Structure 1
Amino acid sequence: MIKKLHDIGLRSEHAYIAAVVSIGLSVGTWATSLRAEPGTGLDRADRWGIFIGEWAPTFFGLGLALSHYEQTEGTLFEQPRGNVEQLREKASRGTAAG
């Protein structure tokens, strides 16, 4: 699974960013739910914050797994190549060969 994620372009730094964003979303969701639904009380706001807060450890774990894979493959410091770059390379090989 980690190899497939790496092959489609997901890198460890993407997972780490998602983890940090989920922590911010957790606090933001808690605060929004607390203000938006004052009649439901603190319990509902806490549940929303905890629900989104549980994503962070998953993303951090995924980031660690991807980082380990990148280290073993030697691609830890390699920049991911976008589809446009791959298409340009294929096009240049096609015109050079023909």
Structure 2
Amino acid sequence: MMEHLHRMGLRAEHLYIAGGVSIGLSFLSWMLSKQMENAGIDRADRWGIFIGEWAPTFIALGNGLRTYEK
């Protein structure tokens, strides 16, 4: 899988950036949902958690690619 991602042009840095963006989007979606929806804090928390769960995946894939690139 790492070889395929590498051949597609993805590098470890790209996935680390995606992880950081995911964390930022998680916070942003939580804030926006909390302010713009009348569904309460529970829904805002769910949005933040849902998007925030992507960050570890991106970072783990970045670690795998970093190892492959060496």
TM-score by length of 2: 0.98
Residue ranges of structure 2 left out of the alignment (5+ in a row): none
How many equivalent residue pairs?
Answer: 70
Tell me the residue number matched to 1:7: 7
Tell me the residue number matched to 1:51: 50
Residue ranges of structure 1 left out of the alignment (5+ in a row): 72-98
Q: Point out the structure with max Rg over C-alpha.
A: 1
Opposite residue 43 of structure 2, the aligned amino acid is: R
Q: Which has the higher contact order (CA 8 A, sep 6+)?
A: 2
What is the aligned-residue RMSD (CA, Å)?
0.4
Q: Distance in 2 between matches of 1:20 and 1:45?
A: 20
Bigger helix share: 2
Tell me the residue number matched to 1:36: 36
Identity %, equivalent residues: 61
TM-score by length of 1: 0.71
Displaced runs of 4+ in structure 1, greater than 4 A?
A: none
